[in-house]
Chain A
Amino acid sequence: GESVGLHLPTLSVQEGDNSIINCAYSNSASDYFIWYKQESGKGPQFIIDIRSNMDKRQGQRVTVLLNKTVKHLSLQIAATQPGDSAVYFCAEKSGGSNYKLTFGKGTLLTVNP
């Protein structure tokens, strides 16, 4: 039968290190991508987004890289802090849709003090 429990990929880092969270997408027609952070018991929180005509975008302590050739998206967090511990989801929007998002599996980031 189907197993139960958390099946998320996990990443464990030391406080102060840089974190890289990866996401593969399958739809070459996707034209917009978003990273969300979800803390326990809360809804997803918007972190950063990027359009398909860009390959890099920077925010405060975060950078998103987009490689359309291999359909790969990554989120880099600089100087990771304990408050960054959460599940991180990538989401893609198909170019054929105005708003519909398809979410990836998510990655659990744990920051050790």
Chain B
Amino acid sequence: SAVISQKPSRDICQRGTSLTIQCQVDSQVTMMFWYRQQPGQSLTLIATANQGSEATYESGFVIDKFPISRPNLTFSTLTVSNMSPEDSSIYLCSVARTSGRAGSSNEQFFGPGTRLTVL
């Protein structure tokens, strides 16, 4: 499996500020994703981070609110802009790679998450 680290692991921020979350992978991966997990809820895909081009956002998420960078195949950042208490969530980085195992498809692995609280 891929080793994925995220920084910061948690933060408490003031309303109206922005926070940039970093995701680092121990090997080159084709696909990187950002998910949001609101308290007690399931995971929702925010966007696919594309290397060398603009991220692909899911319905309900926009670049102005969640700008994403992907400068190379091992690193990505997600910024949560102009935060409000409704942005309090766990933000998770995920990567996909071909497993090579018979019967499997492209496995996705998750980082430990960044727990964000907005006051």
Question: Which residues of A come within 8 Å of B, CB atoms?
Answer: 5-8, 31-32, 34, 36, 41-46, 49-51, 54, 57, 89, 91, 93, 98-106
Number of A-B pairs, beta carbon distance below 8 Å: 62
**B105 in contact with A6 (CB, 8 Å):** no
Name B's A-contacting residues (CB within 8 A).
1, 4, 31, 33, 40, 42-45, 48, 92, 96, 99, 103-113, 115
* A98 CB contacts on chain B under 8 angstroms: 31, 106
Rounded to whole Å, the gap between the CB of B50 and the closest CB of chain A is 12
In the complex, the answer to whether A101 meets B108 with C-beta atoms within 8 Å is yes
CA distance A34 to B110 in the complex (A): 13
Q: B108's closest neighbor in chain A, by CB? A: A101
- Interface CB pairs A-B, < 8 A, 11: A7-B40, A34-B108, A44-B92, A49-B99, A51-B103, A98-B31, A98-B106, A99-B31, A99-B96, A100-B48, A103-B44
| B2 → A minimal CB distance (Å) | 10
Q: Are A104 and B42 in contact (CB under 8 A)?
A: yes
In the complex, are the beta carbons of B107 and A49 less than 8 A apart?
yes
**How far in angstroms is the closest Cβ of chain A from B21?**
13
The answer to whether A46 and B103 have CB atoms under 8 Å apart is no
CB-based contact B92/A99 at 8 Å: no
Given contacts A32-B105, A46-B108, A99-B48, contact A106 B42 (CB under 8 A): yes
Contact in complex: B103, A54 (CB < 8 Å): yes
In the docked arrangement, what's the CA distance between A57 and B104, Å?
A: 10
B105: chain A residues at CB < 8 Å are 31-32, 49, 51, 93
Contact B109 A105 (CB under 8 A): no
B110 touches A99 (CB 8 A): no
How far does the alpha carbon of A91 sit from the alpha carbon of B42 in the complex, in Å?
Answer: 10
Docked CA distance A91–B4 (Å): 20
B41 CB, nearest partner CB in chain A, Å: 8
| Complex alpha-carbon distance, A93 and B109, angstroms | 14
A31 CB contacts on chain B under 8 angstroms:
105
How close is B9's CB to chain A, nearest CB, in angstroms?
A: 9
